[in-house]
A = this chain, B = another copy of it.
């Protein structure tokens, strides 16, 4: 189900780089600091990736496109994604993670303003639901529990279901979401 990986050791990392183990301590503050830096880099890249998703006049499509970018980013660097959600180190600065999440909230808010969603819809709640569902799917795929082929259809269906439940028209919603996955 899950494959065991050889551990990342400090000595193995510096081997061949010409540097000694001490450099890791002066620059990152030991192994926990290195893990924090890796996680930070992961969230920074993710935020940059989501920030590059253009805003169109179809906010539902944009919300799905953010999900596509999220999934692509995770599948291109599975180890980085695993490290981002590994609890071996703290995350010093949550600004990058918050920035990434705010993109989702913004898309949900715009979808509501466009009249696609019920006026009573809370953008943060909807964004959290989309994120959690996408995170679950991506995690299972990255861990090898689910095959990668099922990600797109399952994510499409779940995203469309959540947005339709939030008030969007079923057919129009599905079209927007599928267009995002086809473009990504």
**Assembly stoichiometry (copies):** 2
Pairwise interchain contact A87-B135, C-beta atoms closer than 8 A: no
Distance between Cα atoms of A154 and B4 in the complex (Å): 32
Pairwise interchain contact A135-B139, C-beta atoms closer than 8 A: yes
Q: Is the interface of A mostly helix, strand, loop or mixed?
A: helix
CB-CB contacts below 8 Å: A1-37 with B: 1-5, 32
Distance between Cα atoms of A97 and B90 in the complex (Å): 31
Distance between Cα atoms of A4 and B153 in the complex (Å): 35
Which A residues fall within an 8 A CB radius of B? 1-5, 32, 82, 85-91, 94, 97, 125, 128-129, 131-137, 139-140, 143, 146, 150, 153-154, 157-158, 160-162, 164-166, 170
